[in-house]
Amino acid sequence: MGDTTKPLLQARGIYKSFGHVRALRGCDFDIYPGEVVAMIGDNGAGKSTLVKILAGVQPPDNGEIIFDGQPVTLADPTAAQRLGIETVYQDLALAPDLNPAANLFLGREILRPGLLGKLGFLDNAAMVEQTRAAFTSLGAGVQSETVPVASLSGGQRQSIAVSRAATWANRLVIMDEPTAALGVVQSKAVLELIKRVSDQGIAVVIISHNMPEVLEVSDRVEVLRLGERVARFQTGEANMDLLVGAMTGSLVQEDA
C-alpha cells in the first residue's frame, strides 16, 4: 500500500459543459490509498460526468487532476489504465457469450507459448487458472469460470466485473451503481467484495443512490450538488438525514 497520509487522486476546480448545460462547476474530489469513498448526489449532480473525466472517457473543460502528487492528463481510458485506474460501469461491459475467464482477460488475452502463440492461439487453460486464483483471492462467488456469462446471476456477473477491475487496477477502482438491480443477498456479496478490494490497498470510488449501503461500505462520503462538491463526511459521523440534507441543499457543510 502507498502513503495513506497523502491523497492518491485529487480533482481540483473541474468544469465541464455540454452546450448550454453546465454539468460540473468547479468540482473538487479527493481519495486516499485503500479508501472507499462514496460519491452521492441527486440526478444531474454531475457524478457520472466527473467519473468519466477521472476514467479518461471525457476531457474536462478546465481544472486539474493530480495523481500521486503529480498533475496528469487523462486523455483516454488507456491513459487512466496505465496509472492503475479501472472503471466498472453500470452496464458492466461484459461479453455475455464468453465465459468469466475470457471476460477477465478481454483485451489482455494470454497467448500460447511458441509458434502457436505467434499464430494467435490463446492459452485458455492459463487464463482459467489465473481467473480462478483471482476469484479465490477476492472471495468472488462465481459458479464457474468456463460457462457463458449470460447463464450466471446478476450478482455473479457483477462480481466478475468487479474482479476484472481489481485484477488489472493496482491503485483505483471506480464503480457506478455496483448493486443496482441486485437482490439483498447478491448486494451483500458485492459489498463484501468491495471491502476485500480495499483491503488489498486499492482505493475504491462508488457512485450509489442506496444510502444504507453507502453508510455500510464507505469510509467517507462526498456529496455533489449542481456540479459542485457541497459536503464531505466521515461515514462514522454521517447519517441518512445529513446525507439527504446535503444532497437537497437544506443542509450546508458548516451545519454538519
Note whether residue 194 is domain-resident: yes
Q: Is the pTM of this model over 0.75?
A: yes
Residue-range definition of the domain harbouring residue 217: 9-93+152-255
Note whether residue 167 is domain-resident: yes
Among residues 156, 155, 134, which one has the least CA distance to residue 144?
Answer: 156
Note whether residue 123 is domain-resident: no
Note whether residue 87 is domain-resident: yes
Note whether residue 67 is domain-resident: yes
Grid cell for residue 76 = 483516454
By DSSP bridging, strand 70-72 and strand 9-18 are unpaired
Output the domain CATH number for residue 37: 3.40.50.300
Considering only the C-alpha atoms of the chain, give the largest distance between any 2 of them, rounded to a whole number of Å: 67
Among residues 8, 15, 38, which one has the least CA distance to residue 215?
Answer: 38
Note whether residue 109 is domain-resident: no
Number of domains making up the chain: 1
Buried b (16+ CB within 10 A) or exposed e, 93-123: ebeeeebbbbbbbeeeebebeeeeeeeeeeb
Note whether residue 70 is domain-resident: yes
Mean pLDDT for all residues in the chain: 89
Tens-level pLDDT at each residue, the chain (256 residues):
456 679 999 999 999 999 999 999 999 999 999 999 999 999 889 999 999 999 999 999 999 999 999 999 999 999 999 999 998 887 778 889 999 999 999 888 999 999 888 888 999 999 999 998 888 877 777 878 888 999 988 888 888 888 888 888 889 999 888 887 777 877 888 888 889 889 989 999 999 888 999 999 999 999 999 999 999 999 998 999 999 999 998 776 644 4
**131-136 long-range contacts, Cβ below 8 Å, gap at least 24?**
131/100, 131/101, 131/104, 131/105, 134/104, 134/163, 134/166, 134/167, 135/100, 135/159, 135/163
Note whether residue 221 is domain-resident: yes
